[in-house]
Structure 1
């Protein structure tokens, strides 16, 4: 039997899950749970992924992650492989831990993303592991209710910003949202024997179908590369959005931020997967670490600035439309 098609593109969101072989526990001790969370933190740094939510249950796990570099398969191979090695070493075992690679559902952002986070976080309650969701230690639900810096690694600010730009209000709205329970429509999807490959609006599903499923017949070309937008198109759309010239895009003055330039660099990195050296040459930046800093600063600013985030999403939409 052939493996399921993995739909990968920059900034895609996924619900990822995996279960123990024959329903056996994959988390036996507190050390196992902590080891997996530690591995998630390592994976964020190593593979440049964003973990927005997680829930670890005795026999399985759920993750809500975003992949700026379109690298879900490589990232999850690392997570499952390294955790299996550590689990087996700690429990003097060997062999396969999980029943297979993993299952991943591509998820549309915004409203469907919120439903997914709610579904993942309510798992311990629905399974009868706790009577109060706030008491469950092995999920990121507590992180959404906390201001502690120990949760800084969790990509929760973007999710909370979908409720409100005011953190305190957003956290309160999130808690109320989760307490309402998961709609039957969403629950029904995850009760199916065969899970869908994508979850979202009809428009989103049509886009996925037209963009990716024909691509499986062109196996010699990676999907992420087939659908990568032209670099010049990215620059053109950034200039159009900001009303600046191409020359303005390349200007760099010490101590003065050039937002159009930073956004262009961010999009070249996340939409095309251009390496730091390529981008550096493109923008006359000598130190590759400086390119990486621009990408990270822009990412952080987007998580806190709804106006910038909307602008970047509009630019990305224009780029996608030009590819259609």
Structure 2
């Protein structure tokens, strides 16, 4: 499966996350936390990264970064790479620390930036076993600096969030805002499991297309469009194979009958729609997911052997090209 495209342009805001490989702890002691904060300072000084929020959470981290130079990839290469080196020196280990590439979500500044800052800062208490009783007591996030209970580092940019809040008493106002809890839309967005790459409305996505028109348009469309529904995929597969969608969904009884369109549609629902095996089984009128797994894996093997290339090309054209 191809890696998702990184969307970068001048002045973009990104919510960046990464966690330890195998969910291992990446911050054990105060020296680890301080080492990571030093790397954030370096990313600002060397690459002009503007850090608006951060929260370091034991086995993962959250950052809200603005990129005046459209260089998020370079910034994150420094943050993850240099911290891994320092972690290994501190703990006398070697090898990779993180699970892989960082997760990056492009954020629409208005209206989501303020809400996202609250989501990031509430991480230590919005969990099954809160790390602290009072959010202000958690040392390893930018929240104490936002409410003026800790000195703000020179590389932490708080003014944009304060401006969006629009209150005279910015410290008390922000404390009260965070205490209200995460906005329902933000909570729903992050509870989807497979995070979308863009947090914003259709108008924002269209503006991103304009900002990034020099990049690979086909790849950008894949990340800017919401996941297609299983029914949408079925309809396109039916057109490609010149059959009716109900014939693809039907489950003939008795002896197994070869149905290439059905197998390809199951694979496509998982690959492009991010449907679970159980969801695909329901869509294709199956009582269990075993048959789905068999068909999906069969198509995957055949793709490696060079089959299905024409069908994949036609499907992606139908899914991602705006008429």
Same fold (TM over 0.5): yes
**Which category of TM-score, normalised to the shorter sequence, fits these structures?**
0.5 to 0.7
1:245 maps to what in 2? none
> Alignment partner of 2:36: what SS?
helix
2:160 to 134, 141, 158: 158
Unaligned runs of at least 5 residues, structure 2: 220-323
TM-score (ref. length: structure 2): 0.64
Q: 8 Å contact 1:77–1:101 — kept in the other structure?
A: no
Distance, in Å, in 2 between the alignment partners of 1:211 and 1:63 is: 23
Distance, in Å, in 1 between the alignment partners of 2:149 and 2:141 is: 16
Instruction: Call closer, same or farther: CA 1:135–1:112 in 2, change over 3 Å.
Output: same
> Alignment partner of 1:70: what SS?
coil
2:147 maps to what in 1? 145
Deviation by residue 1:72-108 (Cα, 9 ceiling, x = unmatched): 0011011000000000111011111000110000001
Q: What is the RMSD of the two structures over their aligned residues, measured on CA atoms?
A: 1.9
> Alignment partner of 2:73: what SS?
helix
1:186 maps to what in 2? 186
Q: 8 Å contact 2:144–2:150 — kept in the other structure?
A: no
Distance, in Å, in 1 between the alignment partners of 2:133 and 2:209 is: 41
Instruction: Call closer, same or farther: CA 1:199–1:135 in 2, change over 3 Å.
Output: same
Query: RCO (CA 8 Å, sep 6+): is it higher in 1 or 2?
Result: 1
Higher helix share: 1
Deviation by residue 1:98-125 (Cα, 9 ceiling, x = unmatched): 0011000000113200011000000001
Q: 8 Å contact 1:21–1:98 — kept in the other structure?
A: yes
Q: 8 Å contact 2:145–2:151 — kept in the other structure?
A: no
Distance, in Å, in 2 between the alignment partners of 1:213 and 1:53 is: 29
Distance, in Å, in 1 between the alignment partners of 2:214 and 2:42 is: 35
Q: 8 Å contact 1:122–1:133 — kept in the other structure?
A: yes
- Note the C-alpha offset of 1:135: 0.4
The 10-residue stretch of structure 1 (99-108 or 189-198) with the greater mean CA deviation from structure 2: 189-198
Deviation by residue 1:135-191 (Cα, 9 ceiling, x = unmatched): 00000000101186543321001211212374xx12222111100000222112112
1:200 maps to what in 2? 200
> Alignment partner of 1:204: what SS?
helix
> Max radius of gyration: which structure?
2
1:41 maps to what in 2? 41
2:81 maps to what in 1? 81
For this pair of structures, how many residues does the alignment match? 217
2:138 maps to what in 1? 136
TM-score (ref. length: structure 1): 0.63
